[in-house]
Amino acid sequence: MADLVKVFALAGLDENGRDCYVVEINDDIFVLDCGTSLPDKTIPGVDYIAPNPDYLIKNKNRIKAYIITHGHDESMSGLKYFYSAAPAPIYCSKTTYFLMVGQARSKNISFLPKATFVNPSDVINIAGREVRFFQTCHNTVDSSGVAIYTDQGYVVYTSDFIIDFSGTDKRYYFDLKALEDLSEKDILLLMSESKTATKPGYCSPKHRVTKLIEKQFRDEDKRIFICCFWQNIFRIDEIMSLCRKYNKKVYCYNDYTRRAIKFGQEGLPAVLAGVDFVDKESLLRVREKDLVILMIGLDDDLYQEMSRLGSHQNDDKRINLNEKDIFINVSLPRPTLETMCTKSMDNIYRTGCEVLWIKKDQIVSMHAREDDLKFFLTSLRPKYYLPVRGNFVNMMANAKLALSLGIGLTHNNVFIMDNGTQLIFDGKSRPQLIPNSVNKIVTDPLLVDGTGSSHLGSSVISDRLELAQDGVVVIAATVDLARQEIIGGPDCQMRGFVYVKEAEPLLKSISTIFVDEIKTSFLSGHFDIEKVKENTSERAKRFIKRENGREPYILPIIEVVN
């Protein structure tokens, strides 16, 4: 009897980031990646969006492995939020584990699970089943794809990759031999990334920034500021190589950068080896033409630091940016951060410094483009194809590309799915697509604020949106239950709602409603605080809506004595 294979996404389809894919073979569950993504302005107060763990928690006894392909937030940083509720063996490279644990530590979250370290092109056994890893080139160290054996053929997941044979550094090596070995096997399903499937050609060599910034290191006598995202290890590696080549000394811009470099020296020593780092006490003893000030950040924190630097609000006044300096920006923003990046660069330009802003038309992100995808597809020639990791338009472009290759892929064996939709192979008939309305697999995002201590529901987000759009009205009073009277207040305050000069009549009317509800509750013989708050909120909302069309958030507060 053939293996029963089910494949679905808890997250990662029709979105960028938050990748989490489930492969079920008979009763065994293999989880491929578990990442987070960044929120947009429609969900205020949320720091990260993670996969919903409900399905994994309910089926935790069947999970045989969490396989984490590389050390980026979108692939690794969601697991810490629910691992204790659904523990299972973790398989990843030693570097990926180091980055995953370090990322949790940077958010003050205790996360130190046991893991089995695998080299990027190992072949291992998990739960009695062969699992083949194959190293890929990406902008972090030791990235890999994975293939899981079934008796119908292998299920292959590429994760993020580019085809690059020009690199000699084994940490970013594309293992063609491992791919050739896999191409000799029967491939049941190929799951391939889609983030830049709309872009023509190969990514390589347009992913390298060295040639674009080397002149500033080689020819200029100015002090160099350069900023980069922490998780783009490939880019940091390029910067450090230029510093070694041109005998530049490196000063860490702030405490975050110093912590990141110390962290890198522990887990990524080859990236930082041979670089002359300058401590705080020695900064002013280094000639400006020999100095590179490195600014490393995570997500929007980096752009906020750039804004402070450009507006001279940075803490260390010895490194104020001025017309004698060069500022190099090699941090390509995610779609949700483009506006913030532009605003921060406005401040940088205002300082009068020389600016080199590397943009998307000069360098590309290290994700598979059309020819990279063609290479994988024609090498493996899968029976079925499932585009993953990307917005719908990118997944559709990936699917159309597969149909155009003439390798037996048609509309009958290429699939575009939603999160929660199951693709089922029973070995007897054509695959089945079961929509999530039937499965009822919970795929609503897990919303995380602060440092991850809170998981927010839709009602909280709804309240925050209301606050952001129409403001808030807070009204408070102190009541003496024994005397059945108000002994303090009412005090009514408004924020983000109306101009102060327009507020007085509204304040009086809302206060009148509040007092009326309190007195009515006294007269009833049973003072019900929650009922008073509810009635006040409803009446005040109706009144304000009628007066000026706004719907602020109403927050009644009652302090009770005696």
Distances (CA, A) of 89 to 19, 79, 120, 131: 19, 12, 17, 14
At residue 397, the pLDDT reads 97
Compute how many other C-beta atoms are within 10 angstroms of the C-beta atom of residue 320. Answer: 11
Tokens of 185: 């096997």
Identify the CATH assignment for 210-357 out of 3.40.50.1820, 3.30.70.1230, 3.40.50.10710, 3.90.25.10.
3.40.50.10710
Identify residue 86 by its one-letter amino acid code: A
CA–CA dist 410, 329 (Å, integer): 43
Strand arrangement, sheet containing 485-495: 485-495, 472-480, 553-561
pLDDT at 482: 83
Q: Strand (E) positions, 72-185?
A: 90-92, 115-117, 123-126, 129-135, 144-148, 154-157
3-state per-residue secondary structure call for 283-312: HHHCCHHHEEEEEEECCHHHHHHHHHHHCC
Cis peptide bond prior to 53, omega within 30° of 0: no
Rounded distance, CA 441 to CA 363, Å? 39
SS3 of 556, please? strand
Q: Do the bridges between strand 63-67 and strand 28-32 make them parallel or antiparallel, or are there none, so unpaired?
A: parallel
Segments making up each domain of the chain, as ranges: 5-202+365-450, 210-357, 458-561
DSSP symbol at 319 = G
3-state secondary structure of 394: helix
Q: What's the token pair of residue 481?
A: 């239950």
Q: What is the pLDDT of residue 350?
A: 95
DSSP 22-85: EEEETTEEEEE----B---TTSTT--EEE---HHHHHTGGGEEEEE--SSSHHHHTTGGGTGGG
DSSP for 248-272, please give it: -EEEE-SHHHHHHHHHHHHH-HHHH
d(CA 38, CA 50): 9
Q: Average model confidence (pLDDT) for the chain?
A: 90
User: 12 to each of 63, 195, 352, 496, 523, how far by Cα in Å?
Assistant: 19, 11, 42, 36, 57
Tell me the C-alpha distance between 529 and 558, whole Å. Answer: 7
Residue type, 207: H
Q: Residues 176, 161: contact at Cβ < 8 Å?
A: no
Distance between alpha carbon 124 and the CA centroid of its chain, in Å? Answer: 29
| Three-state SS letters, 200-212 | CCCCCCCCCCHHH
How far lies 192's CA from each of 120, 160, 232, 389, 496, in Å? 17, 8, 21, 8, 46
> What's the order of all strands across the beta sheet hosting 384-388?
123-126, 129-135, 144-148, 154-157, 187-193, 384-388
Q: What is the pLDDT of residues 7-63, one digit of tens each?
A: 999 999 999 889 999 999 999 999 999 999 887 666 666 788 899 999 999 999 999
Write down the pTM of the prediction. 0.81
- Helix, strand, or coil (residue 363): coil
The residue behind tokens 């987070």 is: 36
Long-range contacts of 265-270 (CB under 8 A, 24+ apart): 266/98, 267/95, 267/98, 267/99, 267/102, 268/95, 268/98, 268/141, 268/233, 270/171
Domains 5-202+365-450 and 458-561 share a fold: no
The pLDDT assigned to 454 comes to 47
Report whether CATH 2.60.40.10 matches the domain 5-202+365-450: no
Sites in the chain below the pLDDT cut of 50:
453-454, 500
The CATH number given to 458-561 is 3.10.20.580
